[in-house]
Amino acid sequence: MANISIDMFAQAAAAQKRSTAPSMETVIRNRKITYFVVGFGLVAAYAVLRGNTWKGAAELHTVMEVAATLLAFLVAAMALVRYYTKKEIVFLIIGTGFVGTALLDGYHAVVTSTYFRPYMPSDIIQLIPWSWVASRQFLSIVMIISLWSWHRERKMGKAGRIKESYVYIFTATFTLASFLFFAMAPLPRAHYPELIFHRPEEFIPGILFGIALIGYIRKGDWQFNLFEHWLVVSLIVGFCSEVVFMSFSGSLFDFEFDMAHTLKKLSYVCVLIGLLAAMYTIFTAEENSKSRLVRVNASLEEAMGNLESENALRKEIEDNLRSREKELIRSNKELEKFAYIASHDLKEPLRKIQAFGGRLDSGYKDVLDERGRNYLERMRNAAGRMSGLITDLLAFSRIATHGDAFEHVNLTKIVSGVLSDLEIAIDENNATINLGELPEIIGDRLQMRQLFQNLIGNAIKYKAADRDPIIDVSIEKVTGIGEEYPNREFWKIDVADNGIGFSQEYAAKVFEIFQRLHGRDVYEGTGVGLAIARRIAERHEGTITATSEPDKGATFTVHLPLDLELKPAPGAEEDE
CATH number of the domain where residue 556 is located? 3.30.565.10
Say yes or no: 272 and 412 in one domain.
no
State the helix-helix crossing angle for 226-240 and 24-49, rounded to 10 degrees.
20
3-state SS, 235-296, equals HHHHHHHHHHHHHHCCCCCEHHHHHHHHHHHHHHHHHHHHHHHHHHHHHHHHHHHHHHHHHH
Q: For residues 289 and 296, what is the distance between their CA atoms, to the nearest angstrom?
A: 10
The CATH code of the domain that includes 126 is: 1.20.1070
Say yes or no: 290 and 435 in one domain.
no
Helix (H) or strand (E) holding 433: strand 432-435
Q: Is residue 347 part of a domain?
A: no
Query: Of the residues 238, 268, 297, which one is the last residue of a structural domain?
Result: 297
Q: Is residue 121 part of a domain?
A: yes
Query: Of the residues 232, 264, 297, which one is the last residue of a structural domain?
Result: 297
Say yes or no: 414 and 550 in one domain.
yes
DSSP letter, residue 25: H
Q: Is residue 388 part of a domain?
A: no
Determine the longest span between alpha carbons in the chain, in angstroms: 164
Amino acid residing at 192:
Y
Say yes or no: 267 and 139 in one domain.
yes
| Number of domains composing the chain | 2
Q: Is residue 111 part of a domain?
A: yes
pLDDT of residue 389: 67
Say yes or no: 410 and 287 in one domain.
no
Say yes or no: 288 and 428 in one domain.
no
| Contacts (Cβ under 8 Å, ≥6 apart) of 555 | 494, 495, 496, 497, 546, 547, 548
pLDDT of residue 19: 46
Query: Of the residues 297, 313, 347, which one is the last residue of a structural domain?
Result: 297
Say yes or no: 124 and 254 in one domain.
yes
pLDDT of residue 519: 55
454-to-89, 117, 460 alpha-carbon distances in Å: 84, 123, 10
- Print pLDDT tens along the chain (576 aa): 444 444 444 454 444 444 455 788 999 999 999 999 999 999 999 999 988 888 888 788 888 989 999 999 999 999 999 898 888 899 999 999 999 999 988 888 877 666 666 666 666 777 788 888 889 999 999 999 999 998 888 888 888 888 889 899 988 988 888 777 766 667 788 888 889 999 999 999 999 999 999 999 999 999 989 999 999 999 999 999 999 999 999 888 899 999 999 999 999 999 999 999 888 887 787 777 777 888 888 888 888 888 888 888 888 888 888 888 788 777 766 766 666 666 666 667 777 787 877 877 777 777 778 888 787 788 877 777 777 667 766 666 666 666 778 899 999 999 999 998 899 989 999 999 998 888 899 998 888 898 998 899 989 988 888 899 999 999 999 987 877 777 889 999 999 999 998 888 888 888 887 676 665 556 666 677 888 888 888 888 889 999 999 988 999 999 999 888 888 877 654 444
pLDDT of residue 396: 67
Say yes or no: 211 and 64 in one domain.
yes
Amino acid residing at 21:
A
pLDDT of residue 10: 47
Q: What is the pTM of this model?
A: 0.53
Q: Is residue 334 part of a domain?
A: no
Q: Is residue 344 part of a domain?
A: no
pLDDT of residue 229: 94
CB 431 within 8 A of CB 468: yes
Cα Rg, the chain, nearest whole Å: 52
Q: Is residue 303 part of a domain?
A: no
Helix (H) or strand (E) holding 472: strand 470-481
Say yes or no: 166 and 282 in one domain.
yes
C-alpha torsion 178→179→184→188, nearest 10 = 50
Domain span at residue 163?
Answer: 2-45+56-297
Q: Is residue 293 part of a domain?
A: yes
The closest alpha carbon to 446, from 472, 421, 424, 478, belongs to 421
pLDDT of residue 406: 87
